[in-house]
Amino acid sequence: MRYLISISSLTGLALAQSGAWQQCGGQNWSGSTTCISGYTCTTINPYYSQCVPGSNPPSTTLSTATQPSSSPTNNPNPGTGKFLWVGTNEAGGEFGEGNLPGTLGKDYIFPDTAAIDTLIGQGYNTFRVQLKMERLTSTLTASHNQAYLDGYSKVVNHITQKGAYAVLDPHNYGRFFGNVITDTSAFQTWWKNFATVFKNNDHVIFDTNNEYHSMDQALVLKLNQAAIDGIRSTGAKQYIFVEGNQWSGAWSWPDVNDNMKALTDPEDKIVYQMHQYLDSDSSGTSEACVSSTIGAERVKAATAWLKQNGKVGIIGEFGGGANSQCKAAVQGMLDYLQDNSDVWKGVLWWAAGPWWGNYMYSFEPPSGTGYQYYNSLLKSYV
C-alpha cells in the first residue's frame, strides 16, 4: 500500500525530474513528465509511464523459461469457483517508518488479536501481517531483535493456532533504511534467518516483500528468487507469495512484470501476489472509483497472463471507498476473480489494524469504515 504523502512533498516531486525507473506519466499523473539524463519516459500502459534507460522500452524477459503447461502447476484449488484465501491485511507493525527502529506503542503497534478473532468468526481465514525489516534486524544479515520478533510472532501464532493462515509481509518496498536492496545474497540470508523461525508452521505463508517499485526489473526478479532460495534452504515447504515491480499492480503486471514467470521453486508453491485499487491511478489513496466496472477491467490482463503462463495468483491488497459506485466495482472484481478461481486463489482487503481511526478503507471491527460498509459483501466470498 502506498501511504499518503504531504502536499509539500507532492509539490517538490512535481517540480523535479523523475529519477531512474520512477513514474513520469499516465492518466491523472501530476508529477514530472521528464526524466534524468540517460533515461527516457516510456509509456507502459495508459495509466503508467516510467523512466527507463535509453530510448527503448525495458526488456522484461531475462531468461528463456520452459514452455508453460496449459494449466497451473500444483494448483491448490483448481477452478472450484471458491477462493482458498479470503481475509484482510493487518497493519500496524510497519507504521512509523520515518522513525526506525521506533518505539512500540508510540511509533508502531501490533495487530489486536481480539479483533482478528472477530474476523475469524465472520469466516475470514487469511491475514497478511505487516512488519518492518529494520525493526527486526539492524542489517540484512544481523541477528533478530528478539522483542520485536516476539511481538510479531505472538500475532502470527495466534492466527495459525485458530486454523487461519498468516502471511508474513516485510512491508519495505524493496528497500532497507530507505535504500534499494541490491545485495541479493544478503537478502537471501535475511529470508533464511526469518523463515527458520516459522518453517514448521504449516499455516504460515511467506511474502517476499511488499510492493517493489521504481527499481530495475532484473533486480526485482533476482530479489524474489533470492527470497525463495533463502526460504527453501531452511527446509520450509509452505507457499511463497512473490511480488512485482511498480507496486505489484495487477493492472500493469503483464507489461511491467512479465519476467517474473522465470522464477523457480523446488516445491512449486509460488503464488503471484498482485495489488489492485480502483481510483484513478490505482494508488488506493482516494475514496472515489473510476467507474462501477473498473474492478473487473483492471484484473483482466493479469488473469490472461496467469492462464497463459500456467501460474496462480492472489490479490493481496484491494479496497474501495464507502460509496455505491465503489461497491459495485469491488463486487464486479470479486465476481470476476471468483469466476477465474482456477488461477486466482484469494483476496485480501487493505486493511485492518488498531490505529486506523477513521481511515476510509479500515476493516478493523467493529467500527472501521470499510468493515461496516463491505463486511457483508466480502464475507460472502469465503
User: Distance between CA atoms of 73 and 312, rounded to whole angstroms?
Assistant: 8
Grid coordinates belonging to 259: 519476467
Say which residue the cell 478461481 belongs to.
Answer: 341
Mean pLDDT over each residue of the chain, to the nearest integer:
89
In tens, the pLDDT along 170-189 reads 999 999 999 999 999 999 99
Mean pLDDT, residues 230-250 taken together: 98
Concerning whether 134 is annotated as a catalytic residue, the answer is no
> What is the band of 7 on the pLDDT scale with cuts at 50, 70, 90?
very low
Tell me what percent of the residues of the chain surpass a pLDDT of 70: 82
Cα torsion angle, 109, 112, 115, 117, sign: positive
- Please name the fold of domain 59-381: TIM Barrel (3.20.20)
Whole-number pLDDT of residue 337: 98
| Position 14 pLDDT exceeds 50 | no
For 220, list phi and psi in degrees, rounded to 5: -60, -45
Tell me the whole-structure pTM to 2 decimals.
0.83
Cα torsion angle, 201, 348, 47, 177, sign: negative
| Position 132 pLDDT exceeds 70 | yes
In tens, the pLDDT along 321-337 reads 999 999 999 999 999 99
Question: In the 8-state DSSP scheme, what is residue 374?
Answer: H
Pairing of strands 313-319, 48-53: unpaired
Concerning whether 94 is annotated as a catalytic residue, the answer is no
User: Distance between CA atoms of 312 and 270, rounded to whole angstroms?
Assistant: 8
In tens, the pLDDT along 192-213 reads 999 999 999 999 999 999 999 9
Question: In the 8-state DSSP scheme, what is residue 192?
Answer: H
User: Distance between CA atoms of 338 and 316, rounded to whole angstroms?
Assistant: 14
Whole-number pLDDT of residue 43: 66
Where do runs of H (alpha helix) occur along 88-216? 113-121, 133-136, 146-161, 184-198
> What is the band of 32 on the pLDDT scale with cuts at 50, 70, 90?
confident
In tens, the pLDDT along 367-380 reads 999 999 999 999 99
Mean pLDDT, residues 125-135 taken together: 99
Whole-number pLDDT of residue 288: 95
Q: Which of 94, 97, 211, 364 is catalytic?
A: 211
What is the edge-to-edge ordering of all strands in the sheet holding 39-45?
23-25, 48-53, 39-45
Q: Inter-axis angle of helices 146-161 and 113-121, to 10 degrees? A: 20
Q: Which of 90, 97, 317, 364 is catalytic?
A: 317
Question: In the 8-state DSSP scheme, what is residue 17?
Answer: P
> What is the band of 40 on the pLDDT scale with cuts at 50, 70, 90?
confident
> What is the band of 247 on the pLDDT scale with cuts at 50, 70, 90?
very high
Whole-number pLDDT of residue 8: 34
Mean pLDDT, residues 12-27 taken together: 57
Domain ranges for the chain, please list them. Answer: 14-56, 59-381
Cα torsion angle, 185, 65, 233, 130, sign: positive
Classify residue 266 by burial, with Cβ atoms within 10 Å: 0-12, 13-18, 19+. Answer: exposed
> What is the band of 57 on the pLDDT scale with cuts at 50, 70, 90?
very low
Which is more confidently placed, 181 or 1? 181
3-state secondary structure of 131: strand
In tens, the pLDDT along 68-94 reads 333 344 566 566 689 999 999 999 999
Whole-number pLDDT of residue 70: 34
3-state secondary structure 55-66: CCCCCCCCCCCC
Whole-number pLDDT of residue 162: 98
Grid coordinates belonging to 293: 466496472
Find, among 108, 110, 87, 125, the residue nearest to 318 by Cα.
87
Contact residues for 9 (Cβ-Cβ < 8 A; gap 6+)? none
